[in-house]
């Protein structure tokens, strides 16, 4: 248990903003759920910022030889693509706004 606490303390006290007594009261499953939710929120912020940048860049004149438009996958990289695919699989393969 001490090894687990030492591993999760940087996440708990940093991004999650927990205090030591809050961490002591959480089960590993609860901590995992909180950590997952924080990661999702972080990716959503990146996605929103990337969306704005993507639209701005796609309206600017392109460099010579550049034929393809800028996409979120190109801006945010393979980690974003993997996260987006995991999110879609968790939803059952549908994107937000689509009906099944």
Given this model, what pLDDT does residue 53 score?
Answer: 92
Per-residue exposure over 9-47, b if at least 16 CB sit within 10 Å of its own CB, e if not: eebbeeebebeeeebeebeeeebeebeeeeeeeebeebb
Percent of the chain topping pLDDT 90: 13
Per-residue pLDDT reduced to its tens digit, 28-73: 899 999 998 898 898 889 899 999 999 998 888 877 777 788 888 8
Question: Is the model's pTM score more than 0.85?
Answer: no
């Amino acid at each position: 248990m001490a090894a687990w606490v030492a591993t999760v303390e940087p996440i708990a006290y940093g991004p999650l903003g927990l205090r030591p007594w809050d961490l002591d009261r959480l089960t590993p499953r609860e901590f995992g759920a909180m950590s997952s939710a924080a990661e999702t929120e972080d990716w959503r912020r990146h996605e929103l910022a990337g969306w704005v940048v993507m639209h701005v860049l796609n309206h600017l004149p392109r460099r010579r030889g550049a034929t393809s438009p800028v996409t979120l996958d190109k801006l945010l990289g393979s980690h974003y693509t993997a996260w987006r695919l995991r999110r879609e699989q968790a939803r059952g393969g549908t994107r937000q706004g689509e009906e099944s």
